[in-house]
Amino acid sequence: MASYLQIENISKSYGPKVLFDRIGFNINEGDKIALIAPNGTGKTSLMRILAGKDKSDSGGSIKFLKQIRIAFLEQEYDFDPEARVYDQVVASSQEFMAGLDDDRLFEYELRIRQFLTSFSLGDGSQKMKELSGGEVKRVALTQMLATEADFFIMDEPTNHLDLDAIEFLEGYLKKSRCTLFMVTHDRYFLDRVCNTVMEMDHGAIYIYRGDYENYLVKRQERIDNYNAETDKVRNILRRELEWIHATPCARSGKAKYRKDAFYELKDRAEQVYTSSKVTFSDVGGASRLGSKIINCKDVDFWYDDKCYLSHFTYNFQRYERVGIVGRNGVGKSTFINLLTGSDGEGGTLTGVIDRGESLRIGYYHQSGMKFDEDQTVLETVNDTHLLSQFLFPHDMLSNRISKLSGGEKRRLYLLTILMQQPNLLILDEPTNDLDIVTLNVLEEYLQAFKGSLIIVSHDRHFLDRLVDHLFVFCGDGVVKDFIGGYSEYRSYIKDYEAEQKRLKDAADKAAKAAAQPARQQSQPAKRRLTWKEQRELESIESELASLNEEKDAIEQKLSGGTAAYEEIQKISLRFEEVKSLIDEKEMRWLELSDI
């Protein structure tokens, strides 16, 4: 297996905070690596250095051992809001397109359109400013994937994507022969795409071949071995300490090397490995919840001419756990805002939404909290103990909010929600920007949460662990209630679609069989073609020859890469017309030939 990339002795710090120091590793052709590390420890910084967007503080070396093409997906996509989607992709790809000949340029433009279709972005004529966050992410992915680069570097590729887009991206990367280095919090995505987990922990790099479960097992073995070694060192240290105390200083000159070794042992014995862990045990439980939560009766909501909710009736129950899924823009966040009473302006709301008197809602918004960026962590949450439990150690308390990573801000925001002791917790895309360690602990907290829970999420693992049933937003205001988690829902949908296809195929086969004897009975004895039919048959044969020649000519023109874009659109339409005419003529030719 060829080595693509060798990294040696690279470092990164921000002020006094050392993210990583003189680390190194190799990436081989075909590796699909998921980088795991807590928020704020330098994952994005490392990716930017590999992509050539940033530099190592300590020099070091980053050697690409083959001439390979690299594509980098950052979390934030820079775009012109006035540009149309297709034009934005092309404009952002000028450096890549400059090296393409006409044939390869045509192929690239064709791939752009194919990915736009696969990501449900239509023909690319919509303006960028009209897109949702998830749609912008799909534009960025289109630009990246269409390059067919040898090496993809991806920072949280599933953030803001709906489940259909995640499953398409997952399937594409799984089949692709590309080399991949990515950060993701989506554990199902990680397992189905990646063959290697790379952990950045306490400034060092550890490589685990295999899936996420194998990583968890091997990581724990590493920690246990390290701590066992620490115990051995402590036993030796105890004996050395007895020697130090029993040896008069006047007689210690000959044993200076032993005294030096003693202090080295002392340093090592103090290095007990402890994993940073978020603990929610001291946050407090839910407030007492009455029998009425939120009762909805015949609720409709329209915004302009678009229906987001149609005749929705449902009474939420105590301790209920419901997940909300559906495509981007279908109305999930709007629905949550209606439940909480925080939206509805500009739209038309009818029906009844009745909230219980004892209801105390904790609402974690997808957009996050609007912090005062000049405030410190301690000024934002004035509780040092709770901050410590949430991975904000003492030396971070004086840090200004502006210095925190996206994940650290999310964690702080989550703390402010849970401190309110809600009895209905509503989480709108809570997994975005949180690291996997924090997500695991958050899941444990939510499993023990003594209140009702509503989760809008595209994280399949998160939904499977936490919800009892799903509200599936189907579009046009239609909401279906499905009992079970997301994996059960997807399995049901696949089985349902397969059964519908089987029934359709069986019905088509039965109809064909039933029609066959009827045709045979109704047909007269074998006869000759009439003069008119003979002339029609000859004409069809001539037309078919001409149409097939035209079809071949169009195919050559499309693959030649010399036609202008407007001409390609025109001849593509004609190509479909010609194929349809050929099918029609061939069918009539068969009918006449049977006579």
The pLDDT profile of the chain, 595 residues, written as one tens digit per residue, is: 678 899 999 999 887 788 899 999 999 999 999 999 888 888 999 999 999 899 999 888 899 877 888 999 998 899 999 999 999 999 999 988 988 888 889 899 999 999 999 999 999 999 999 998 889 999 999 999 999 999 999 999 999 898 889 999 999 999 999 999 999 999 999 999 999 999 998 778 999 999 998 998 999 898 888 888 777 767 776 776 776 666 555 445 546 666 566 666 666 566 656 555 555 555 556 667 778 899 999 999 998 889 999 999 999 999 999 999 988 888 998 999 999 987 666 789 999 999 998 999 999 988 778 899 999 999 998 888 878 877 788 888 999 999 888 888 888 998 888 888 899 999 999 988 888 888 888 888 899 888 999 999 999 999 999 999 999 999 899 999 999 999 999 888 888 878 888 888 888 888 888 776 655 555 555 567 788 888 888 888 888 888 888 888 887 776 665 666 567 667 777 877 888 888 788 778 777 776 6
Residue with tokens 């003693």: 262
Q: Write out the H or E segment, with its range, that includes residue 61.
A: strand 61-64
Q: Which residues pair with 182 in a beta bridge?
A: 34, 154
Same domain, 365 and 450: yes
Same domain, 258 and 388: no
Alpha helices in 425-477 (DSSP H): 436-447, 460-466
User: What length is written for the chain?
Assistant: 595
pLDDT value for 538: 83
Q: Is 65 within the bounds of a domain?
A: yes
C-alpha distances out from residue 19 to 48, 76, 201, 397, 440, Å: 13, 21, 10, 18, 23
Q: Is 116 within the bounds of a domain?
A: yes
pLDDT value for 141: 97
> How do 204-209 and 196-201 pair as beta strands?
antiparallel
- C-alpha span between 259 and 371 (Å, rounded): 53
Same domain, 66 and 169: yes
DSSP 377: H
Same domain, 196 and 256: no
Q: Is 389 within the bounds of a domain?
A: yes
Same domain, 301 and 230: no
Q: Is 276 within the bounds of a domain?
A: no
Same domain, 248 and 172: no
In DSSP notation, 345-359 reads TTSEEEEEEEE-TT-
Q: Is 356 within the bounds of a domain?
A: yes
CATH number for position 408:
3.40.50.300
Longest CA pairwise span in the chain (Å): 130
Q: Is 289 within the bounds of a domain?
A: no
Q: What is the number of structural domains in the chain?
A: 5
Nearest one of 50, 54, 57 to 27, comparing CA atoms: 50
pLDDT value for 240: 67
Same domain, 565 and 514: no
Q: Is 132 within the bounds of a domain?
A: yes
Same domain, 34 and 147: yes
Name the domain boundary from 216, 233, 251.
Answer: 216
Domain assignment of residue 518, given as a range:
485-523
Q: Is 274 within the bounds of a domain?
A: no
SS3 readout for 153-186: EEECCCCCCCHHHHHHHHHHHHHCCCEEEEECCC
Same domain, 477 and 439: yes
Predicted TM-score (pTM) above 0.85: no
CA angle 417, 446, 477 (to 5 degrees): 80
pLDDT value for 336: 94
- C-alpha span between 355 and 363 (Å, rounded): 15
Same domain, 411 and 354: yes
3-state helix, strand, coil in the chain (%, to 5): 45, 20, 30
pLDDT value for 254: 46
Same domain, 100 and 176: yes
Name the domain boundary from 460, 494, 523.
Answer: 523
C-alpha distances out from residue 510 to 37, 121, 499, 517, Å: 58, 39, 16, 12
Name the domain boundary from 472, 501, 523.
Answer: 523
Residue type for position 391: L
pLDDT value for 250: 43
Same domain, 169 and 23: yes
> How do 306-315 and 294-303 pair as beta strands?
antiparallel
